Amino acid sequence: MIKVNFTNALSEAVFEKYLGQVKDIHHMIHDKTGLGSDFLGWVEWPNTYDQAELAAMKQTAKQLANEIDVLLVIGIGGSYLGARAAIEMINGLYSQQKVKVIYLGNTMSSTYMAQVLQYLQNKKFGICVVSKSGTTTEPAIAFRLCKELLEKKEGFLKAAKLIVAITDKHKGALKTLADEAGYQTFVIPDDIGGRYSVLTPVGVFAMLVSGIDVDNVFKGAQQAYQDTLIDDLTNYAYKYAVGRYILNYEKKYKAEMLVTYELQMQMITEWWKQLFGESEGKDSKGLLPLSCIFSTDLHSLGQFIQEGTKNILFETVIEIKKPQLDLALTKAEQDIDGLNYLAGKTLHEVNITAIQGVIAAHIKVGHVPNIILEFETMDDKMFGYLSYWFMKACAMSAYLLKINPFDQPGVEIYKKNMFDLLGKN
Ligand code: PA5
């Protein structure tokens, strides 16, 4: 479901010398012998996820969706980005789904928070609060404020039925709170870290409330699991990882710009930035992950990419083969806007032409290498596929750099500093 094309970035010959390393790292991932191997639970997850828990989530999500108009998904980083990426990619930005999703706990902006609370005054809403540690400050504050409003509107007992907590099986403040108040809880497995958790209840519960067919998401992930079992460079996820390593280490590029031509894929690029940035940005190593939405950014950063400072970044362009929806361009009686020359084409065909035109400009004139990722579709199965595929590519990529892909010591420093400055015991 994903093909990688390096024609405009690297020659085939440069990959060969990495074959041995790829084989070793593949076995390191599957045999759990590498750095951070306690957090490799996501590798087998598409086949080992708890079916009884999924059935319980489906039931709870259905009941909740019947009772509410708005779902608040409260979380940050790996406890937020995956759910949003899935919901926006699969449902689109103006979906007809009954339940609207609002994301909180990823900011401490008082204005944003207060505005959402005002908006919720007259809405029937429920809460899905997600935190593995159960102690992260941003979601904890947002949850306290939203819970208070919900309890005021609905009463303590009814509010408790409209709250679902997704957290550690045994420990953390959120787990204690949930047990005391009687919230339904679902578990974040011990051996799966935040940014690798989208296929666990962390992403799945919100997807279910949003009407997404999660069985299809798992089918996609299972297919990606099969396709990435190969331990050589015919495995596209590994080829992508090696290609970006060569561009970084041999060709000295510092940044990778992930480009999409679909607005509903913007949060996929945000999820990807966290996955690669937090997994690899350690020991003064790693490519800086950036993202652009074209055509939007062709009229801003496009100029810099084309003619600005050279040898900083390469682009990885996502090309969607089959759009969810398309529009035919027809002939107008009077061609005052001069667009009749497009009659007979579809809007997606024009978008694909833009991709080809931009790639040619950025490569031939701008001399910016371009990797092309061909995605078949933008649906539920594709989301399952791409999320697993990128996680596998990221593990390979970080191990090539000799980095632990599964910790985030830098993030922990800021979290601790905040606790100290705010006077937490
Ligand atoms: O990927 C990660 O591990 C992080 O981004 C965490 O998900 C994020 O810091 C939120 O942590 P928690 O779920 O403990 O609130």
Q: How remote is the CA of residue 335 from the centroid of ligand 1, in Å?
A: 54
In this predicted structure, what is the pLDDT of residue 143?
Answer: 98
Tokens of 344: 């007979």
Burial of 73 (0-12, 13-18, 19+ CB in 10 A): buried
Predicted confidence at residue 420, as pLDDT, reads: 87
Distance, CA of 271 to CA of 384 (rounded, Å): 13
Write down the pLDDT at residue 48: 97
Taking 90 as the threshold, does the pLDDT of residue 94 lie above it? yes
131 lines ligand 1 (CB under 6 A): yes
pLDDT of residue 424: 83
Model confidence pLDDT, tens digit, residues 148-205:
999 999 999 999 999 999 999 999 999 999 999 999 999 999 999 999 999 999 999 9
Measured CA to CA, the distance from residue 316 to residue 327 in angstroms comes to 26
The span from the CA of 311 to the CA of 323, in Å, is: 33
Dist. CA 275–CA 81, nearest whole Å = 10
Instruction: State what percent of residues in the chain have pLDDT above 90.
Output: 95
Average pLDDT (286-310) is 95
Dihedral class, residue 187 (left if φ above 0, else alpha if ψ from -120 to 50, else beta): beta
Task: Give me 2's structure tokens.
Answer: 């994903």
Number of CB atoms found within 10 A of residue 275's CB: 26
- Residue 411 near ligand 1, beta carbon < 6 Å: yes
5 DSSP β-pair partners: 372
Find the 59 Cα to ligand 1 centroid distance in Å.
26
What is the Å distance from ligand 1's center to 411 Cα? 9
How many residues in total does the chain contain? 425
Atom index in ligand 1 nearest the CA of residue 195 equals 1
Given CA atoms 161, 214, 123, 77 in this order, what sign does their dihedral have? positive
What sections of 325-422 are H helices per DSSP? 347-360, 380-400, 409-422
Task: Give the per-residue pLDDT at 126.
Answer: 98
- Selection from 157, 206, 202, 207 nearest residue 182 by Cα: 157
What b/e sequence results for 278-307 when a residue is b if at least 16 CB atoms lie within 10 Å of its CB, and e otherwise? Answer: bbbbbeeebbbbbbbbbeebbeebbeebee
Q: Whose CA is nearest to atom 5 of ligand 1?
A: 77
Assess whether pLDDT exceeds 80 at residue 425: no
Per-residue pLDDT, 418: 83
Average pLDDT of span 371-379:
97
278 is catalytic: yes
- Per-residue pLDDT, averaged over 73-78, amounts to 97
Q: For residue 133, which atom of ligand 1 is closest to its CA?
A: 14
Q: What mean pLDDT value characterizes the chain? A: 96
Identify the DSSP state of 362: I
Q: 44-212 has which fold?
A: Rossmann fold (3.40.50)
pLDDT at 412: 81
Whole-angstrom distance, CA of residue 372 vs CA of residue 315: 8
Of all helices (H) and strands (E), which one includes residue 289? strand 288-293
- From the list 217, 206, 187, the residue with the least C-alpha distance to 60 is 206
Identical fold for domains 2-33+218-401 and 44-212, yes or no, is yes
pLDDT tens per residue, range 95-145: 989 999 999 999 999 999 999 999 999 999 999 999 999 889 999 999 999
Task: Look up residue 221 and give its two tokens.
Answer: 């992930």
319: annotated active-site residue? no
Residue-level pLDDT at 413: 86
Q: What is the pLDDT, as a whole number, of residue 266?
A: 98
Candidates 74, 80, 132: which one to mutate for ligand 1, based on the most atoms within 8 Å of Cβ? 132
Q: How many Å apart are CA 17 and CA 91, to the nearest integer?
A: 42
Phi, psi angle pair for 231, to nearest 5°: -100, 30
Average pLDDT of the residues in 284-304: 95
Closest alpha carbon to 205 in 164, 256, 173, 167: 164
Answer yes or no: is pLDDT of 422 > 90: no
Q: What is the pLDDT of residue 403?
A: 96
Residue 384 has pLDDT above 80, yes or no: yes
CATH code assigned to 2-33+218-401: 3.40.50.10490
Q: Best mutation site among 79, 175, 406 for ligand 1, i.e. most ligand atoms within 8 A of its Cβ?
A: 79
Spatial separation of the C-alpha atoms in residues 232 and 269, rounded to whole Å = 26
The packing angle between helices 380-400 and 19-31, to 10°, is 110
**CA-nearest residue, atom 9 of ligand 1:** 77
In terms of Cβ atoms closer than 10 Å to its own Cβ (0-12, 13-18, 19+), residue 407 is middle
Q: Where are the domains of the chain?
A: 2-33+218-401, 44-212
Residue ID of nearest Cα to ligand 1 atom 2: 194
